[in-house]
Amino acid sequence: MLGKLVGLGLEENNITGCISITIFNISSLQVLSPGRNSLIGYLPGEVGNLTKLQNLQLEENMLTGEIPKDVSNLIELVKIHLSFNKFIGSLPMEIFNISGVRDIALVGNNLSRTLPLNIGSMLPDIEELYLGNMNLFGSIPHSLSNCSKLTNLDLSGNKLTSLIPNSLGYLTHLKYLLLGRNYLMSDTTLSFLNSLSNCRDLELLDLSSNHLNGMLPVSLGNLSSTSLALFEAADCKIKGEFPKGIGNLSSLIDLDLSGNGLIGSIPSIISNLRFLQSF
């Protein structure tokens, strides 16, 4: 039955129970999208039978257990969204071995391990990578800068340590960079901010609740004045005075520097930020 079915979209319903194992016998399936339901149980290894699958969206359910290694069989996969379930275990490297994937979202699962050092060569076409609110540890790999098509990167809410690499500035198409709520560090001049001036499409930059322990550089004003709408660096142990260059960020809507060790007066050039709604 349904031997010619290409797409199965059941998102945003009130579907309960486990995923029917018979679905994974439909070898022609290219889209499987029962996201935002109340599905329970495991994602069975039989998902690897769907070798023509391009889009797998199971986000916002109550699936548990480990993500099966059989996902490595999904060689045509472009998008995989498994966020906000209850998956456990190690972050599955099998997903990163699908070289054509462009959109990975695993946010809010209990998955842990370090990011692969060669992630840049494993995911040459990745455009959106959402790995926030998990249990990732270790450092941000420098090879991530080779993911030249990346627009959205979410690594927030993990246990990442070490320096924020200046090489993130090579991601010139970056729009969203979310690194908040980790244990990340920088040199005393926060030089990585200068490198991000190459990201002319950057709209949202979240660095909050890290251990930056430095001074905001004058080059902060070199971030995109036409696109940067949100800059969050609360509770980062930032010290020193407000850099006057901050007045160049004329598109800012939300600027959060609370919970730091800033001194001196607020520069009058802040009045240039005519779109600012939260400060």
pLDDT in tens, 204-249: 999 999 999 999 998 899 999 899 999 999 999 999 998 888 989 9
The pair of structure tokens assigned to 17 is 């129970």
Same domain? 45 vs 25: yes
Please indicate, yes or no, if residue 272 is contained in any of the structural domains. yes
Please indicate, yes or no, if residue 1 is contained in any of the structural domains. yes
Q: How far is CA 261 from CA 5, 139, 147, 214, in A?
A: 60, 26, 35, 10
pTM of the model: 0.96
Is residue 82 within 8 A of residue 101, CB to CB? The reply is: no
Q: Which residues contact 74 (CB under 8 A, 6 or more apart)?
A: 47, 48, 50, 51, 53, 56, 80, 98
The pair of structure tokens assigned to 46 is 């039989």
Please indicate, yes or no, if residue 239 is contained in any of the structural domains. yes
Q: For residue 48, what are the domain limits?
A: 1-114
For residues 103, 107, 113, 119, the Cα torsion angle rounded to the nearest 10 degrees is: 20
CATH code, 228 = 3.80.10.10
Same domain? 95 vs 219: no
pLDDT band for position 197 (cuts 50, 70, 90): very high
- Give the chain's domain count: 2
Same domain? 174 vs 108: no
Model confidence pLDDT, tens digit, residues 13-60: 999 999 999 999 999 999 999 999 999 999 999 999 999 999 999 999
Task: Look at residue 180 in the predicted model and tell me its pLDDT.
Answer: 98
Please indicate, yes or no, if residue 105 is contained in any of the structural domains. yes
Residue 199 in this model has a pLDDT that exceeds 90 = yes
pLDDT band for position 128 (cuts 50, 70, 90): very high
Q: What percent of the chain has pLDDT over 90?
A: 92
Task: Look at residue 272 in the predicted model and tell me its pLDDT.
Answer: 87
Same domain? 39 vs 175: no
User: Which of 176, 180, 175, 166 has its CA nearest to residue 200?
Assistant: 175
Q: Which residues contact 41 (CB under 8 A, 6 or more apart)?
A: 17, 18, 19, 63, 64, 65
Please indicate, yes or no, if residue 158 is contained in any of the structural domains. no
Task: Look at residue 193 in the predicted model and tell me its pLDDT.
Answer: 95
Q: Which amino acid is at 52?
A: K
Please indicate, yes or no, if residue 62 is contained in any of the structural domains. yes
Same domain? 82 vs 204: no
Range list of β-strands (E), the chain = 7-9, 16-17, 31-33, 38-39, 55-57, 64-65, 79-81, 86-90, 103-105, 110-114, 128-130, 135-138, 152-154, 159-160, 176-178, 204-206, 230-232, 239-241, 254-256, 261-263
Nearest-angstrom CA–CA distance, 144 and 119: 6
Same domain? 121 vs 80: no
Q: Which amino acid is at 10?
A: L
Please indicate, yes or no, if residue 33 is contained in any of the structural domains. yes
pLDDT band for position 1 (cuts 50, 70, 90): low
Same domain? 122 vs 65: no
Nearest-angstrom CA–CA distance, 109 and 107: 6
Model confidence pLDDT, tens digit, residues 65-113: 999 999 999 999 999 999 999 999 999 999 999 999 999 999 999 999 9
Number of Cβ atoms within 10 Å of the Cβ of 17: 10
Task: Look at residue 126 in the predicted model and tell me its pLDDT.
Answer: 98
Nearest-angstrom CA–CA distance, 260 and 237: 5
Please indicate, yes or no, if residue 159 is contained in any of the structural domains. no
Same domain? 232 vs 256: yes
Task: Look at residue 168 in the predicted model and tell me its pLDDT.
Answer: 97
Task: Look at residue 89 in the predicted model and tell me its pLDDT.
Answer: 96
Model confidence pLDDT, tens digit, residues 116-125: 999 999 999 9
